[in-house]
A and B are shown apart, each in its own frame.
Chain A
Amino acid sequence: DAKTTQPTSMDCAEGRAANLPCNHSTISGNEYVYWYRQIHSQGPQYIIHGLKNNETNEMASLIITEDRKSSTLILPHATLRDTAVYYCIAYTGTASKLTFGTGTRLQVTL
């Protein structure tokens, strides 16, 4: 699986958009970009995934660059409950392992 690089930590004011970047310059054509988050020792929570196109669901939006070397997860209106570690993972999606990096610790503040 391709290595991903994320900032160690980010802050965001409640109600503002949180934009979390991820670099995955060695991603291969069959690898999806997946985002999970982990809220203090809870099980990792699936957020969103994409291959080439931008994606949106009820939780977030995922913007993938045309060359697929980077992506951005957008939480449109961050709340205190969005405070968590966010993981960007390149995954082939073939019943194999998810490789968690160090992730980005997002702190949402009042």
Chain B
Amino acid sequence: AAGVIQSPRHLIKEKRETATLKCYPIPRHDTVYWYQQGPGQDPQFLISFYEKMQSDKGSIPDRFSAQQFSDYHSELNMSSLELGDSALYFCASSTTPGRSSTDTQYFGPGTRLTVL
């Protein structure tokens, strides 16, 4: 079965540079989520989009922005990178549940961002 695709898988940037991470959800999934996992930490929610509109927001820095496009893929844009932004970034996707069901989030393999 098709899974969530993230690109690139690895990214190395210098401080103060910008980075763009891409996420392609499972076909027919309309909701995308972004999570950040720092070294030795648990995943932390950043932001989510449903039908191209922001649906929920976590502790996402103002330097970060994200959007969802008409084909449902999403991009996380990160500017003025700091050393502390070095982390794994996971994207997840889900589909609108039926009335008596729930939406399960399925995660991609992640992008490992290293800021030097």
Contact = CB atoms under 8 A, between A and B. Distances in A.
A97 B90 contact: no
Interface in A79-105: 87, 91-103
A45 interface: yes
A101 B42 contact: yes
B45 A93 contact: no
Interface in B82-99: 88, 90, 92, 94, 96-97
B90 A95 contact: no
B112 to A, nearest CB: 8
A32 B20 CA distance: 33
Contacts, number: 66
Nearest to A44: B107
B103 interface: yes
B107 A45 contact: yes
Contacts of B102: 32, 49, 51, 91-93
A105 B87 CA distance: 20
Interface of B: 4, 31, 33, 35, 42-45, 48, 50, 55-56, 58, 88, 90, 92, 94, 96-97, 101-110, 112
19 contacts: A32-B102, A43-B92, A43-B109, A43-B110, A44-B43, A46-B105, A46-B107, A51-B102, A93-B104, A95-B50, A95-B56, A95-B94, A95-B103, A96-B48, A98-B45, A99-B45, A100-B44, A102-B42, A103-B42
Given A45-B107, A95-B48, A98-B92, 5 more contacts: A41-B110, A46-B106, A94-B103, A95-B56, A100-B42
